[in-house]
Amino acid sequence: MGMMESTFTTPGTSAHLHPQEFLTFRLGAEEYGIDILKVQEIRGYDQVTRIANAPPFIKGVVNLRGVIVPIIDLRLKFNLGEAKYDAFTVVIVLNVLQRVVGVVVDSVSDVLELGPDEIRAAPEFSSLLDASYITGLGTIKPATEGGETRMLILVDIEKLMGSADMALVERAA
Amino acid sequence: MAENSNPGAQPGSDAGGFDLTQFYGVFFEEAGENLANMESMLVEIDVDSVSDEELNAIFRVAHSIKGGAATFGFADVAELTHELETLLDRLRRNELKLRREMVDLLLEAGDVLKLLLARYQGSGEGRPDTAALVARVKQLATGHLSAVVGDGRRRVRVRVGPLAEPATADGLAELFRDIPSLGTLEPLDGGKAIEGYRTFKVRTNSPDEELIELFSFHVAREQVAITPFDAAPVRAGGPVVHEGEGFGFFVDPATLPAAQAAAQEARNAEPKPRAEKSQGGNLESSTLRVSVQKVDQLINLVGELVITQAMLTQQAKTLDPVQYQTLLAGVTDLERNTRSLQESVMSIRMIPMAFVFNRFPRMLRDLAARLGKDIELKTVGEATELDKGLIEKIIDPLTHLLRNSADHGIEAPAARSAAGKSPTGTITLSAAHQGGSILIEVRDDGAGLKRARILAKAKERGLAVRDEMSDAEVWALIWEPGFSTADQVSDVSGRGVGMDVVRKNIAALGGSVELDSAEGYGTRVSVRLPLTLAIMDGMSIRVGAETYILPLASVVESFQVESKTIQTIGSTGRVVRVREEYMPVVALDEVFSVPRDGSEAGCEIMVIVEAEGARTALLVDELLGQHQVVVKNLEANYRRVAGVSGATILGDGRVALIIDVASLVKRTRH
């Protein structure tokens, strides 16, 4: 990854002067990155107990070593094509909002370190996510000559999970 | 007057009406700690440079022990600590300078207190004579030896009875012997009972209330009648010592020099060497103070144990009973032991409701006095136990409900008489177990909720109301934030911030609250709380391909049905006939939108459940079994789900939802 060459911070990022680590995952056609510190573990998808009358993207709850954890399928939430559940389905277990929550994504890639110079402000564009959840765009230089530069959409996953339409957190009725 | 109606209250019990001896333990423990603290503080004190904070701390010890002793009727302890309090109060206000002999005396007093308390706990013999000690403390504090003798006493006639055993009144004479400052008592009846009544002439400075308090140590309060004797005028002369909050009252500057002289005397009369320790009487506690976290940790571990045991039991079912006989026997024993362990551990955190109720008589008495109303408080079911965590959180909502009843419910005595009611209003607090919950009710026989006023207020606030709304719907408006029909906002209630907060607080505990009222007759608020949340007995049932758990405490019976025994009423209601009754039917596959692929057999089993006094029949596919279930909180990581009270982990590791029976039963009532 690039070395830190400058110390100015770009708007749209949190004021980190040192590299931040992001877990990258794929959702639909795009790649996203979330703060690795919010990720508890990554596991497969199985034995989910359905919860009646929950929104369709909330698949239900699972037993994670004695703790009851809700599972949200982001593919369904954002209407991304077909959501298959098989041996390769991956669940990212997050630790956000003082809760443990699992999200289903298409696939998980590596953990990347991005310095401030590799993160740019996100322009206003309509995408899956409301711009307020996007903290920036990361650029990953290709590993090999002639490879493609990847673009990573950096997401404030805690804010996203706490939003009203995620129906995770009970609002005062 | 707020008092519990509990005829035959024992001596040692208070206007609270219930037995206070159960609280002795806490008092003795804390008094023991306090005395130990006081001793170490006194030992370390530097007479020449003592800080206000140290004096305050020692004062607080005396004050707190006095409070407890007075409540429980430990007259000698109360008297001694009262004098100590007086001395310490003057010291902390810098009206007196601390001297060595004061410290010595205080230490000695501490020892004597330990002895006295040990006697009340049942250990140690002989009654230490406190009169001399009390006199010496008084000397140091006021410079007067028994400032009470002679002057300014009033005379009253005390009539005690009817007594089953007239000799018990002789205990009163003992009181006056033990507490010299109390006054004098002479029998007027020559020491013999007349028709079961004894009469005495008493000269005292203490107020009637205090006399009765002390007498209740020997005879019941209701048996004491005090009337003025000859109405002789009280001679005002000399400093009158009041047994009450009189700190600084009796400070007469003229007495100060006398204090110096008396102190000189005291210095010469060396107090007994502290080395002469008492015989017998250690304040041993048979209780252990344990942090709540340790108990919770214990409960969690037991919960995990139950899950593991359930898993083993399930696996064991698949084994050949003949070949694995001993193993299966072991598993059965394990199940039994685990259950006992679980019950024991759960009971550690359970505390009787009396802890909550006991603060209310006093509060209500003060409140009634302030509002100019006459209110009696009745309590029922104080022995009902509730988890410690819930107890602490239920106090605020209950306090608010009580204040509401007193303020808005019960009418002024004149209004009550005009309405043909007794001028004394009654508020009843009750607690009872019901199935897997505890039901707490606050009932008053006051004016009830005024339907018209509530509707008017609601319209005023722009809420959507109709005149034809049912009573229940109208009462439900009370829960709206900011709602209050009070004409005036008093500092007691009426601001309208109460009821919705009450409901929210109770909901946060996993409970529910309901209002019921009849205008002119009274109001009843019912609070329902789940009992222990951690482990319960459950019945697992199958609906479609899913497993659900029913709390066993709510299950009444189950049987097979044929679809033709289920009748429809109207377009959506269904009922089933069970013996002589028709019961509403709830199909669980509908409630939980369970996917059916058509190939499975339809619901064939009916499970009758009971909640909040009403019964409903649930339609399920199959009964799977009965077992202990560890309740896991769904809301910790997710949120509240309608119809579901929690989740559990089955033996195979899957999560199963626990059905909230009360909410299902409620559905059928609409």
The answer as to whether A56 is a domain residue is: yes
User: Is A50 in Cβ contact with B647 (below 8 Å)?
Assistant: no
Is A49 close to B546, i.e. CB distance below 8 A? yes
Same domain, B324 and B386: no
pLDDT computed for residue A1 by the predictor: 42
Q: Is the dihedral of CA B381, B382, B385, B388 positive or negative?
A: positive
What's the helix, strand, coil split of chain A in %, to 5?
Answer: 15, 40, 45
Q: Which domain holds residue B161?
A: 154-228
**Domain match, B160 and B222 both:** yes
Q: Please tell me which of the candidates A66, A99, A100 has its beta carbon nearest to residue B304.
A: A66
Separation CA A44–CA A34 (nearest Å):
19
Rg (CA), chain A: 17
Half-sphere exposure of A19 (CA within 13 A, CB side): 14
Give the B-side interface with A, CB within 8 Å.
304, 307, 546, 591-594, 632-644, 647, 649, 653-657
Q: Is residue A117 in some structural domain?
A: yes
User: Does the residue A88 lie in any domain?
Assistant: yes
Cα distance between residue B608 and residue B584, in whole Å: 10
Query: How far apart are the C-alpha atoms of B270 and B217, rounded to whole Å?
Result: 35
How confident is the model over B396-437, as pLDDT tens digits? Answer: 889 889 988 888 888 888 888 888 888 889 999 999 887 667
User: Which among A55, A50, A71 has a CA at the least distance from the CA of B548?
Assistant: A50
Joined together, the tokens standing for residue B101 give: 């002999």
Backbone angles phi, psi at B14, to 5 degrees: -105, -175
**Residue found by looking up tokens 């430990």 in the block:** B74
Q: Looking at residue B429, what is its pLDDT? A: 94
Regions of chain B with pLDDT less than 70: 1-18, 124-126, 143-153, 180, 229-285, 435-436, 481-497, 531-535, 598-603, 670
b/e burial code for range B131-163 (CB count within 10 A of at least 16 → b): bebbebbbbbbbbbeebbeeeebbbbebbbbeb
Picking from B463, B497, B530, the residue at the C-terminal end of a domain is B530
Considering only residues 7 to 66 of chain A, which have any Cβ-Cβ distance to chain B shorter than 8 Å?
47, 49-54, 60-63, 66
Q: What number is the ipTM of this complex?
A: 0.79
**B41 assigned to some structural domain:** yes
A53 with B654: Cβ contact below 8 A: no
Q: Are residues B134 and B263 in the same domain?
A: yes
Which are the contacts of B186, defined by CB distance < 8 A and separation ≥ 6?
A: B200, B201, B202
Q: Report yes or no: B482 and B499 within 8 Å, Cβ to Cβ.
A: no
The answer on B111 and B89 residing in a single domain is: yes
Pairwise CB contact (< 8 Å): A49 & B653: no
Taking residue B431's Cβ as centre, other Cβ atoms within 10 Å add up to: 25
Examine the domain organization and report whether B140 and B210 are in the same domain: no
pLDDT, tens only, B502-515:
887 887 777 788 88
Do the Cβ atoms of B43 and B58 come closer than 8 Å? Answer: no
Using the 8-state DSSP alphabet, how is residue B670 labeled?
-
Alpha-carbon distance B6 to B3, whole Å? 9
Q: Read out DSSP for A9-20?
A: PPTTS---SS-E
Same structural domain, B374 and B484: yes
Range of the domain at A155: 25-162
Q: What pLDDT is attached to residue A22?
A: 93
Residues 6 or more apart whose Cβ sits within 8 Å of residue B633: A68, B533, B646, B647
Disruptive mutation site among B479, B638, B654, B663 for chain A (greatest number of A CBs within 10 Å): B638
Domain count, chain B: 5
* pLDDT digit string, tens, across residues A22-48: 999 998 888 999 999 999 999 999 889
Res B153: pLDDT: 65
Q: Give the Cβ contact number of residue B632 at 10 Å.
A: 22
In this structure, are B422 and B440 located in the same domain? yes
Q: Do both B356 and B344 map to the same domain?
A: no
pLDDT above 70: percentage of residues in chain A: 84
Q: Which among A47, A68, A101 has the least Cβ separation from residue B634?
A: A68
Q: Is the CB of residue A142 less than 8 Å from the CB of residue A166?
A: no
Same domain? For B43 and B59 the reply is yes
Cα distance between residue B537 and residue B631, in whole Å: 10
CA angle A128, A132, A137 (to 5 degrees): 70
Structure tokens at B169: 């009144």
Separation between Cα atoms, residue B619 and residue B335, nearest integer Å:
30
Domain assignment present for B285:
no
Q: What is the pLDDT of residue A127?
A: 64
Q: Do B592 and A53 touch (CB under 8 A)?
A: yes
**Cβ–Cβ under 8 Å, residues B430 and B379:** yes
Predicted pLDDT of residue B243: 39
Q: In terms of CA atoms, which chain B residue is nearest residue A171? A: B639
Tally of structural domains, chain A: 1
Nearest to B443 by CA among B383, B524, B542: B524
Q: How far is CA B72 from the centre of its chain?
A: 16
Residue at B284 is within a domain: no
Quick: pLDDT tens for A91-150.
999 999 888 999 999 899 989 988 888 888 887 766 667 778 888 888 887 777 777 888
pLDDT of residue B182: 75
Q: CA angle B151-B157-B160, nearest 5°?
A: 135
Q: Any idea what the CATH number is for the domain that residue B87 is in?
A: 1.20.120.160
In this structure, are B185 and B93 located in the same domain?
no
Two tokens at A130? 């409301």
* Of B315, B333, B349, the domain-final residue: B349
Which of the listed residues B515, B530, B545 is the one where a domain comes to its end?
B530
Q: In this complex, do B546 and A168 lie within 8 Å of one another by their Cβ atoms?
A: no
